[in-house]
Structure 1
């Protein structure tokens, strides 16, 4: 399978406890929310569309993403 392909899965996120960064404030900005309380997955959604789709990652995938973000891997400049 090509690692760039997306896979659609049905995951029950009704028990998800969503959190967002304390840096995001309450001003209606562009934020993501993360749920890490469901075993085996990390879910990410748009805070402005809580009933919309969520991206679901394995904990290892999420850790790799955070490491890349902190390390500047995704910087545009």
Structure 2
């Protein structure tokens, strides 16, 4: 199991013990499978609820804003991703 401080070579340190973690609900209202962590240094992390010591994805504030905007705009819908793959990748 990894320690509470995760080091990202480009983004800095994310302290999992000091972060404020939230667990958003799934679309059907049940507790979701992901947790989002917000650190005082502005980094945002995402991890699986069932594996808090496992892999986490670390985002800068700008990256997180772009990711959330893409989700809201439907860029991560399966049909959109499949169409992008058919065209040979993202544009």
More strand per residue: 1 or 2? 2
Q: How many residues align?
A: 67
Unmatched 5+ stretches in structure 2: 1-6, 80-91
Q: What does residue 86 of structure 2 align with?
A: none
RMSD after superposition: 2.0
Superposition deviation, residue 57 in structure 1: 0.3
Q: What does residue 30 of structure 2 align with?
A: 25
Superposition deviation, residue 14 in structure 1: 1.7
Unmatched 5+ stretches in structure 1: 1-7
Superposition deviation, residue 31 in structure 1: 1.3
Runs of 4+ with >3 A deviation: none
Superposition deviation, residue 53 in structure 1: 1.9
